[in-house]
Structure 1
Amino acid sequence: MIILIFFLAHWFLSLFFQTFFLHRYASHKMFTTNKFFERTFYIMTYLFQGSSYLNPRAYAIMHREHHAYSDTEKDPHSPHFFKDVFQMMWYTAMSYKLHVKRLKEPEDRFKGNYPEWRFLDYVGSSMVSRIAFGLLYVAFYIQFATAWWMFLLLPIHFLMGPLHGAIVNWCGHKYGYANFDNNDKSKNTTPFDFLMLGELFQNNHHKRPNSANFGAKWFEIDPVYPIMKLMHWARIIKLRKAYA
């Protein structure tokens, strides 16, 4: 039971800060916040993503490229140009690495208006940090695992961030239904998306990329949006007026 709780906690906390901080804030600026809370969210993203920490600047640039070139040859992670999800993940990882190391100059329209903390980005992206988190996961499993098969969950912990991205980009552009014609292949994979915290409402999101609510129909519930509304009410963040 302890292992299951740990796994689910890591899954949803990592995913929450990926969608809340990296996607909705860094990439789209769906809300504003002060420097104290920005740095707090930055640290929490690092802690909960752990060994699979994703650099907010690199994430934002790639995501903006994805929207601009959705499901075309210039899309950094469209599933329609790869024979399987593993090839897509590898190509995405290589593109991401170029942005992390600043070896690829992005178009001017994709630059700026994202949070940067170079020290934490350096630490979070270092092999020392990634290995340290990996060892902590292993130590936890050694202490609390009650069956051998539980150790099969460890690779998911190691690659949590990229796995979340792969699920969203592969499934969200291949399977499901569409509310809108976005001139791409974006889909809403399921009518209720709790597993991926609303990220699989890709068709809705590509239609309204700056809306903090990924749901469009009454039955499409985005679990993160009510949390953002509460944070807005508490004045921790300020949602864009159009969506507040």
Structure 2
Amino acid sequence: MDPTIYTSMLTANKILDKQAIIANNLANASTLGFKEQLTFQTSSLTNNSESFKDKQILSENNYPYSNFSSGPINFTKRDLDLCIKGNGWFVIKDENAKNKEGYTRNGHFKINTNGQLMINNHLVIGKLGIISLKKNKKISISSSGTINYIDFKKEKTKQNIIGKLKLVNPNPKYLERGNGGVFYLNEKGLKKWGNHIPDNKNVQLNKGMLEDSNVNLNENLINMISNERHFSIEMKIISTADENIQRANQLLNINN
């Protein structure tokens, strides 16, 4: 294979990888608490190919990473809509892996038919485990994540503490991306904490607010168009190189 064709094929594959990341960002632009994924790209000369042991091939490498900056705040005035101030995560149960926690910035809480707190169809984990509530009871969640039943009697409001949301704040280097904006502990995180990060009392909440996705639509669309153009150029290079090879072969056949 011609080195030019091989190099362009490698580059085109990397462009497709970047397009997949951008497509995922755009698909989750309206997902609450979603953190966009970016790529850091490097170019280097390599001769790892079996076909070109005596030649160096220009290779591009993509290194995906997550943008953990906060997204825009949406004011909803709903009691069970919560937004984390600054850094931190809500904790949910991963139904697909035993005893494994998931971490999300999505604070749109709901109560299922069994009286359990949910986020996007995932059970919410409290400081002492799964949070179950009494039916037909109004609850309030404080800025520290404490959950209270509210009783209205004789013009007085009485609050009964029933539990606390588990709120964590691990260093992002211990997290890896999952699906739907959920993060999990990576190998380093599992070695440090096991399957469960300790509750962090310093994480605080705002009520009646939600954090939207931090995906920059304009930037992602511009990058997608740029990648499409770059991909077309690489395809043109491959086509031109292939035509040149065919013409060279024709000339050799004529001379012979």
* TM-score bin (small chain): under 0.3
- Tell me the TM-score normalized by structure 2: 0.20
Q: 1 or 2, which has the higher strand percentage? A: 2
Task: Point out the structure with max Rg over C-alpha.
Answer: 2
Q: 1 or 2, which has the higher helix percentage? A: 1
